A and B are shown apart, each in its own frame.
Chain A
Amino acid sequence: MMHNTDGQSEPVNLVSPAQQSYLDQFREQVSATGGTIEFVARSPEAVRDAVLARASSKRPILIAEPRYLSPDYFRPLRSEEGVLTHPHADDYRSAPVGVTEAFAAVARTGSVCVDIGADIAGYVSLLPRLHIVVVDAERLVFRPSDLFRLEQFARPTFHRDFVFISGPSATADMGPLVRGVHGPHELHIVVLC
């Protein structure tokens, strides 16, 4: 998958029309949940650039090591200034940005599935105000139930602990809808394609 020449992160060559329609639906749903989304090439540098651009000047950036994506994708990022892979309690308290992978994405609901048993993803996807998720377009399914139908799902070790994340944390308990409660205030999804 390539970038457009004009720099827009739009997918340009696609595997199949069905996948295109899933991707379109995914993009729409992510916006509906209050998240943001961009499509980048499957390259470690592209992941680094996307994360740094979204994080802007906010530091430190916490990173949870990927289990499903190749660790190479996060390698250039790890050597950047202000990027932490082994945070302490105080880093968790204050870090404004967390980066994790997702092992799947769901078109109909605009969700990403984060394995919170993998490394420190449970904290990194939860405590910082901005959560950036990297997911491969090939891991896009239509509905949540499609994941449960996978053969491997019967195995108890397969995604022992995971969460469907659909937008930033939100509440309607204080009157109007407010985004940003106990979890991230912003969710940014970087789709590799």
Chain B
Amino acid sequence: MPKRVTSPREVAAKESRAILRRAIRLALDTESAAVRHNTRSFNLNRYRATAALPDYDALKDEARRIKEHALVNRKALVQRLSESVTRNGGHFFFARDAQEAGQYIQGVCKRHCVRSLVKGKSMTSEEIHLNGALEHDGIRVVETDLAEFILQAADEQPSHIIAPAIHYSRERITALFRRKFQTDLPLDTGEDLTRFARERLRQDFLAADAGITGANLVSADCGSLLLVESEANIRLTCIAPPLHIALSGLEKIVPSRREFASFIELLAASATGQPLTSYTSVIRPPLAVPVVDFRGAGPATREFHLVIVDNGREALARDAQLKEALYCIRCSACLNSCANFQVLGGHGFGGATYSGGIGATWEAATTGQLKLARFSDLCTGCSRCVPQCPVRIDIPGLNVELRSRLNKSIPLSLTARAMHLLLGASPVENASAQQIFFAHYDRLARWGTLFAPLSNFFSKVPGARWFLEKSFGIDRRRHLAPFPRKTWVDISADEVTEKPDAPRGPGVLVLADVFTNYGAPERGKDALRCLRAAGVRVRLTKSLPDGRAALSQGMIDTARAQAETLSRYIAAENAAERPLLVVEPSVLAMILREYRKLLPAEAFVKLQNSTIDLVQFLARHFAEQGSDPRAVFNIRKFAPGPRVFYHAHCQQRAVSDPSITVEFLRRLGFEVTCSQVECCGMAGSFGYKKDFYDVSQAVSEELVEQWKAAESAKGPHTLLASGVSCIEQLQGATGRAVLHPVELLAKLL
């Protein structure tokens, strides 16, 4: 057994799966409760605040455009900013790396004989390990953001980009302060703790020789800083000491102060979910207001230094696949909307400085070490962060790219080679045996089905699950669905080609996705029955892998090859451009979202225009025909009653509006209660992996709670979920049967 982790610092740098596992254990054991509570409250507030923004989408487009443009023009902007700062009477320094930045700031402090300095929260200063360098020079460094104050007392790294001590409950802060500060003052409420910190820190502010802040944005035209905060510690840091040093990454520069306007409301809404936080400062240091001699050191003039840091950003800007990470405005929406982050926080799902889905790219770029992006494995690709990002960064896409590079950085193992050979999979792409196992689900399933029930018998042989766990890391506690003897395509032979007596209505093509084809053939058949009953002429495709399984393992080349094959096949089969209907939401999202990056634009747009969720097609079909779906789907045939609890698939919600399905069910007479969670926790193969089983289970708890709450309020509900893996997760967690919407509909025929 590895020794127990005592401090999050020990597992901050996640260089390997082993460290990642230990960090996950630490996070689940000691930090999860506070993180769950705090991230979910941020998440709810953000949904409310962004819904109240009158032009949320337009603001996002504008913010993205400004950032794209600024990054292209970064060299000129740096030059212009340097001139502006100098013109204002400040000093400008461009630091190529962490060391240069640290040395420059150390030099400034030495010249000013700085003995103590106050700091506002700055992730960039965490990134360049500034505190250590200054303390080495004998300077007393005081973190004044209350979260950073907690972390400094505890000697821990941040666990969140805007609330760095999000993993601390009030009770744990009380215990920490008692231990650290040896005080008898009352510390039993948030007010007590705040008063205690405020009184200590007020003295530090007024006695400080220098103040260090970050910046949310910097304008090149006039050297203005945008500083967003609530505690007023940044305002004090800027104004009380005579010397102000601001530290910022080069990606924070925008052309002019006017551009701040597009970010101010967007940032507050996306971050804490407020219209604005208490203080949004727009300042152009050195401030004009005279220095008040709080220190008793005599009159002093103000001095300002702006340190712009590269530290890997320039290289990131030239990285076509990853550069969009630089648009990040550090709002944390992607962290708070991430189901895995909600149970782990940044000590599990994060590195030494940056955390969450966006954090892995940042951690790798600013350290220059790809291996430190290992925590990107915790990004399941669920895509719930995608619609939340104010600058529209494809965060799951970044993590797939990182995973692919991590795969390529490790030579293929013998087992992995054997797997490739055995499965006859091409291209031969670097990945672990586990990844190859999951990526080629279709091939495994084809063999499994071909040799069922023998293959199912093998999985029940004593030791089989042990073998799967040892060889492929498939957690033995997970239920593995048996392979069917016949696939969806097999049992729908009549439907593969159009029958002469088929309905005369509009024709559609139904995609025989591999998950439904091998995992739930009866569900597929139900889908076809529903369509036929609705008067739709159906044709079922061949079952071809769509690339989702491979992509989720970071096997981009394999995914692209599969996407191309599928796209060519559909193009040939679908000359009439009939709608392409999809039952499995992860495949739907693959085609509608991920194919944008995998296919030539023309092929993508063609598929995008024709592909639709099967139930949503039905809803549209009835609406277009002006006919009443109740004439086809009779709710009275469903004995368990009208109450259903529906969990819409995470990836599906990134590409289509789940309320269409919900409204359709309501139209049929169902009383639908929807889950309010971001993801069920299974997320394809994620929850099957031994390393992540506990995370997956922790994520599912909230979903189960919501279902129980619905039942205790209104009585029994039929459980409904749209994804193969959501259904598996819910069945495992509740012990109840879970239906796909098409299975429910088929019961009404």
Contact = CB atoms under 8 A, between A and B. Distances in A.
Nearest to B294: A89
Interface string B240-272: 000000000000000001101110110010001
Given A144-B280, A173-B150, A183-B278, A164 B264 contact: yes
Contacts of A109: 265, 268, 275-276
A156 interface: yes
B412 interface: no
A168 interface: yes
Nearest to A180: B194
A126 B231 contact: no
Given A111-B276, A173-B145, 20 more contacts: A111-B280, A116-B239, A147-B261, A149-B258, A154-B258, A160-B288, A161-B282, A161-B288, A163-B279, A163-B283, A164-B276, A166-B278, A166-B279, A170-B230, A171-B194, A178-B194, A181-B198, A182-B232, A182-B236, A183-B236
A123 interface: yes
B699 to A, nearest CB: 24
B232 A29 contact: no
Contact of A144 (B233, B235, B265, B279): B265
A175 interface: yes
A93 B295 CA distance: 12
A116 B289 contact: yes
A169 B231 contact: yes
B235 A126 contact: yes
Contact of B275 (A110, A172, A174): A110
A139 B537 CA distance: 64
Q: How large is the interface on A (under 10, 10 to 19, 20 to 34, 35 or more residues)?
A: 35 or more
Shortest 8 CB-CB contacts between residues of A and residues of B: A183-B232, A175-B170, A148-B261, A145-B261, A173-B146, A109-B275, A169-B232, A181-B231
A144 B264 contact: yes
B53 to A, nearest CB: 9
A112 to B, nearest CB: 11
B193 interface: yes
A145 to B, nearest CB: 4
Nearest to B53: A108
29 contacts: A33-B274, A89-B296, A92-B292, A93-B294, A108-B275, A121-B289, A122-B235, A122-B239, A123-B292, A126-B232, A126-B236, A144-B264, A144-B280, A159-B282, A161-B281, A161-B282, A161-B287, A162-B282, A163-B235, A163-B281, A170-B231, A173-B147, A174-B170, A176-B189, A180-B194, A181-B146, A181-B233, A182-B232, A182-B233
Contact of A168 (B145, B278, B288, B292): B278
Interface in A23-68: 29, 32-33
B439 interface: no
A1 interface: no
A177 interface: yes
Contacts of B232: 126, 169, 181-184
Interface centre among B38, B198, B221 (most CB of A within 10 A): B198
A173 B34 CA distance: 11
B163 interface: yes
B190 interface: yes
B206 to A, nearest CB: 7
A132 B198 CA distance: 21
Contacts of B146: 171, 173-174, 181
Interface centre among B165, B257, B262 (most CB of A within 10 A): B257
Interface of B: 38, 144-147, 150, 163, 165, 169-170, 173, 189-191, 193-194, 197-198, 201-202, 205-206, 221-222, 230-233, 235-236, 239, 257-258, 260-262, 264-265, 268, 272, 274-284, 287-289, 292-294, 296
Contacts of A168: 278
B294 A92 contact: yes
A33 B198 CA distance: 21
Interface string A129-171: 0000000000000011101110001101001111111111111
Contact of A182 (B173, B231, B293): B231
B278 A169 contact: yes
B275 A166 contact: yes
Contacts of B278: 33, 165-170, 183
Contact of B289 (A33, A122, A154): A122
Given A109-B265, A126-B239, A174-B190, A89 B231 contact: no
A156 B265 contact: no
B202 A163 contact: no
A182 B276 contact: no
A180 B198 CA distance: 9
Contacts of B294: 89, 92-93
Nearest to B194: A178
A59 to B, nearest CB: 20
A117 interface: yes
A176 B231 contact: no
B275 A177 contact: no
A89 B299 CA distance: 12
B123 to A, nearest CB: 16
B323 to A, nearest CB: 27
Nearest to A150: B258
Contacts of A2: none
A120 interface: yes
Nearest to A64: B289
Contact of B265 (A143, A161, A176): A143
Interface centre among A33, A163, A166, A174 (most CB of B within 10 A): A174
Given A175-B170, A180-B194, A122 B287 contact: yes
A29 B189 CA distance: 27
A93 B258 CA distance: 35
A172 B194 contact: no
Given A174-B170, A178-B190, A89 B293 contact: yes
B173 A175 contact: yes
Contacts of B287: 116-117, 122, 161
Contacts of A176: 170, 189-190
Contacts of B292: 89, 92, 123
Contacts of A175: 169-170, 173, 189-190, 193
B659 to A, nearest CB: 27
Contact of B262 (A110, A145, A156): A145
A171 B162 CA distance: 12
Interface centre among A106, A147, A161 (most CB of B within 10 A): A161
Contacts of A29: 275
A149 B173 CA distance: 44
B230 A171 contact: yes
Interface centre among B163, B232, B235, B257 (most CB of A within 10 A): B232
A148 B66 CA distance: 16
Contact of A178 (B191, B221, B288): B191
Nearest to B282: A162
A89 to B, nearest CB: 5
A163 B193 contact: no
Contact of A164 (B190, B202, B257, B279): B279
Contacts of B202: 182
Contacts of A167: 278
B230 A169 contact: yes
A168 B146 CA distance: 16
Interface in A53-111: 89, 92-93, 106, 108-111
A156 B222 contact: yes
Interface centre among B231, B233, B278, B282 (most CB of A within 10 A): B278
Contacts of A154: 258
B238 to A, nearest CB: 9
Interface centre among A167, A169, A173, A175 (most CB of B within 10 A): A173
B289 A182 contact: no
B284 A160 contact: yes
